[in-house]
Amino acid sequence: MPIDRAKALAVEREMDLVEVAPQAQPPVCRVMDYGKFKFESLKKDKDARRKHNVIKVKEMKLRPKIGEHDFQTKFHSVKSFLEEGDKVKLTIMFRGREMVHQDIGKNLLERMARELKTISTVERSPLLEGRNMIMILAPVATPAGKA
């Protein structure tokens, strides 16, 4: 169809003549309401962003000489982060002579992972980086609330 006839047809229908594939030979055009098309495409993009699940990494810092009650408090916080669908980075900070007792820190991280094994998986096992021992836990399944 010649371009003049296509323009006349678009004016007759009170619509726009939009070039869909300019690289094609000959270029492909379409008669449509361009304003409506742009609005619907923006709406689709916004909807896709809304459904996109962004995984955050929360951090919980511990010390090797942590008390039982403090451990339980931190444990419940970590548990709630995992249930919300976030990853958790557990960090044990060693100071001074505590560096000699790295096994205490490793046992603490392993205990946390053991108690949370029903809702999480160990993404990165305990590893010493400088004076900090780091372990990363990831949630097992995507939560129903965030999907």
CA-based nearest residue to 91, from 141, 140, 138, 137: 137
Per-residue model confidence (pLDDT) at position 121 = 92
**pLDDT band per the 50, 70, 90 thresholds, residue 147:** very low
In a domain, 127, yes or no: yes
Residue 107 lies in a domain: yes
Q: How many CA atoms lie within 13 A of 134 on its CB side?
A: 12
Partnered with residue 32 across adjacent β-strands are 16
pTM of the complete model: 0.62
Question: Which residues form the domain of 10?
Answer: 3-51
pLDDT for 1: 61
Is residue 135 a part of any domain in this protein? yes
pLDDT at 7 over 80: yes
DSSP conformation class of 37: H
Residue 25 confidence (pLDDT) above 90:
no
Query: Same domain for 123 and 70?
Result: yes
Domain count, the chain: 2
- The 10s digit of each residue's pLDDT in 118-132 is 999 999 999 999 999
How do residues 43-70 score in pLDDT, each as one tens digit? 988 888 887 777 789 999 999 999 999 9
